[in-house]
């Protein structure tokens, strides 16, 4: 049986193209399961998983919980709000107390970049990074590439532009690593103030004109402006951002080509995407969400084999 090269999923940077293929092939099988009347398999019947969330989430948290339940794992959920973190308990003490209850795997979202790597050096359980600050969001990038593969047949050779707040985006970084490992061409597009200084060193093309970026690409992955992570003003106003970087259906239709529109969510409707674009035939946004469950089932299942 094939297995992953890692026993934690901390970031796409740490995994191989073969790992990505194995996750996709496993997710294909789980997607078949999810389309059956009985959407459940006993694969992780003896495994207990804790979803430990120190940051807000809708999609990732529910998707992991559903993936775990579809695999018949026992599941517990922890949110830092309302917990003893508010009384000063450390991250390591919190997780060690959860593990003392005989938990086998930790799925963690945290606002600090590197939090999942830190945990992996101090605890024995498998860890899945569900987003660590501005660093990585590996399962999001996997479900994004899986959705491109589903829509376009393959990822290799495709031109993908990631548009928006690249500076604060863990989704952008994980997508760049994932797409390049699969042989896609990657461009980033946004106001110069929202593009990291090191970005060209990652081997991506850089464009500040959104129209030119859309003309170039097969796939546009549009990101949210992360106001909660911004320490200063990076553009004059949201209205001005929308004027220069907002995407609407008229713009997409005027390209006169097939273009795949993606967004990791949550969408700020009327800011980076108009409703008529987000809900158009170009959009695969809800397919991304659907595929997230199969991808997370695959990741959890494969990591459980590594013990
Ligand atoms: N895409 C994503 O991570 O969404 P949530 O923040 O709702 O989990």
Contact present, 217 and 160 (Cβ < 8 Å)? yes
Q: Who contacts 185 (Cβ-Cβ below 8 Å, separation ≥6)? A: 157, 158, 159, 160, 205
What confidence tens digit (pLDDT) does each residue in 29-61 have?
999 999 999 999 999 999 999 999 999 999 999
Nearest CA to ligand 1 atom 4: 59
Whether 134 shows a pLDDT value over 90: the answer reads yes
Q: Which residues of 14-24 are buried (b: 16+ CB within 10 A; e: fewer)?
A: bbeeebbebbb
Give the Cβ contact number of residue 229 at 10 Å: 14
Instruction: Tell me the average pLDDT across 255-268.
Output: 97
Q: What percent of the chain has pLDDT over 70?
A: 98
CA neighbor of 272 nearest in space, from 162, 168, 169, 164: 164
Question: Which atom belonging to ligand 1 lies closest to the Cα atom of 55?
Answer: 6
Instruction: Tell me the average pLDDT across 145-169.
Output: 97
Q: What CA–CA distance (Å, rounded) separates 286 from 184?
A: 22
| Residue 269 DSSP symbol | B
Band of pLDDT at residue 141, cut at 50, 70 and 90? very high
Q: What CA–CA distance (Å, rounded) separates 144 from 161?
A: 12
Question: Which atom belonging to ligand 1 lies closest to the Cα atom of 56?
Answer: 6
Residue with token string 């996750």: 23
> What pLDDT, on a 0 to 100 scale, did the predictor assign at position 225?
86
State in Å: Cα 59 to ligand 1 middle.
5
Q: Indicate if ligand 1 lies below 6 Å from the C-beta of 84.
A: no
> What pLDDT, on a 0 to 100 scale, did the predictor assign at position 236?
77
State in Å: Cα 204 to ligand 1 middle.
24
Q: Indicate if ligand 1 lies below 6 Å from the C-beta of 292.
A: no
State in Å: Cα 58 to ligand 1 middle.
6
Return the structure tokens found at 80. Answer: 């830092």
Q: What CA–CA distance (Å, rounded) separates 9 from 138?
A: 7
Q: What CA–CA distance (Å, rounded) separates 234 from 240?
A: 11
Q: What is the mean pLDDT of the chain?
A: 96
What confidence tens digit (pLDDT) does each residue in 210-254 have?
999 999 999 999 999 876 666 667 777 889 999 999 999 999 999
**More confident of the two residues 236 and 265:** 265
Q: Indicate if ligand 1 lies below 6 Å from the C-beta of 57.
A: yes
> What pLDDT, on a 0 to 100 scale, did the predictor assign at position 229?
63
State in Å: Cα 181 to ligand 1 middle.
23
Q: Are strands 205-207 and 185-189 parallel, antiparallel or unpaired?
A: parallel
State in Å: Cα 1 to ligand 1 middle.
32
State in Å: Cα 130 to ligand 1 middle.
9
Burial of 51 (0-12, 13-18, 19+ CB in 10 A): buried
> What pLDDT, on a 0 to 100 scale, did the predictor assign at position 307?
80
Question: Which atom belonging to ligand 1 lies closest to the Cα atom of 137?
Answer: 3
> What pLDDT, on a 0 to 100 scale, did the predictor assign at position 63?
98
Q: What CA–CA distance (Å, rounded) separates 129 from 115?
A: 9
Helix intervals (H) in the chain: 17-34, 59-70, 91-99, 115-120, 138-152, 170-181, 210-216, 238-245, 249-254, 275-278, 285-306
Region of residue 183 (left: phi > 0; alpha: psi -120 to 50; beta: else):
left
Instruction: Tell me the average pLDDT across 120-143.
Output: 98
Torsion angle, alpha carbons of 137, 25, 284, 141, to 10: 10
> What pLDDT, on a 0 to 100 scale, did the predictor assign at position 231?
63
What confidence tens digit (pLDDT) does each residue in 63-116 have?
999 999 999 999 999 999 989 998 999 999 999 999 999 999 999 999 999 999
Q: Is the pTM of this model over 0.75?
A: yes
Q: Indicate if ligand 1 lies below 6 Å from the C-beta of 140.
A: yes
Question: Which atom belonging to ligand 1 lies closest to the Cα atom of 60?
Answer: 8
Q: Indicate if ligand 1 lies below 6 Å from the C-beta of 111.
A: no
State in Å: Cα 24 to ligand 1 middle.
20
Helix, strand and coil percent figures for the chain, each rounded to 5: 45, 15, 40
Q: What CA–CA distance (Å, rounded) separates 252 from 235?
A: 24
* Farthest-apart Cα atoms in the chain, separation: 58
Q: What CA–CA distance (Å, rounded) separates 42 from 44?
A: 6
* Domains detected in the chain: 12-137+290-306 (3.40.50.1370), 138-288 (3.40.50.1370)
């Amino acid at each position: 049986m094939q297995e992953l090269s890692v026993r934690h999923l901390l970031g796409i940077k740490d995994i191989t193209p073969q790992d990505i293929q194995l996750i996709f092939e496993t997710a294909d099988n789980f997607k078949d399961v999810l389309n059956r009347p009985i959407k459940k398999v006993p694969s992780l019947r003896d495994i207990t998983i804790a979803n430990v969330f120190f940051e807000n989430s809708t999609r990732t948290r529910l998707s992991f919980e559903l993936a775990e339940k579809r695999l018949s794992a026992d599941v517990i959920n922890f949110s830092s709000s309302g917990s003893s973190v508010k009384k000063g308990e450390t991250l390591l003490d919190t997780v060690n107390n959860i593990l003392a209850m005989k938990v086998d795997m930790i799925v963690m979202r945290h606002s600090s970049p590197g939090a999942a790597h830190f945990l992996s050096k101090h605890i024995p359980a498998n860890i899945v990074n569900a987003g660590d600050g501005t660093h990585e969001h590996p399962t999001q990038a996997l479900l994004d590439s899986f959705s491109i593969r589903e829509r376009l047949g393959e990822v290799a050779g495709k031109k993908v532009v990631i548009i928006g707040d690249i500076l604060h985006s863990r989704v952008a970084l994980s997508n760049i690593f994932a797409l390049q490992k699969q042989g896609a061409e990657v461009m980033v597009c946004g106001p110069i103030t929202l593009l990291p200084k090191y970005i060209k060193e990652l081997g991506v093309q850089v464009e500040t004109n959104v129209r030119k970026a859309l003309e170039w690409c097969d796939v546009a992955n549009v990101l949210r402006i992360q106001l909660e992570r911004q320490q200063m003003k990076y553009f004059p106003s949201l209205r001005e951002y929308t004027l220069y970087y907002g995407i609407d259906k008229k713009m997409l239709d005027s390209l006169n080509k097939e273009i795949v529109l993606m967004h990791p969510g949550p969408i700020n409707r009327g800011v980076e995407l108009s409703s008529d674009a987000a809900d158009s035939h170009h959009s695969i946004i809800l397919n991304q969400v659907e595929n997230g469950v199969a991808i997370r089932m695959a990741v959890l299942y494969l990591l459980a084999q590594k013990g």
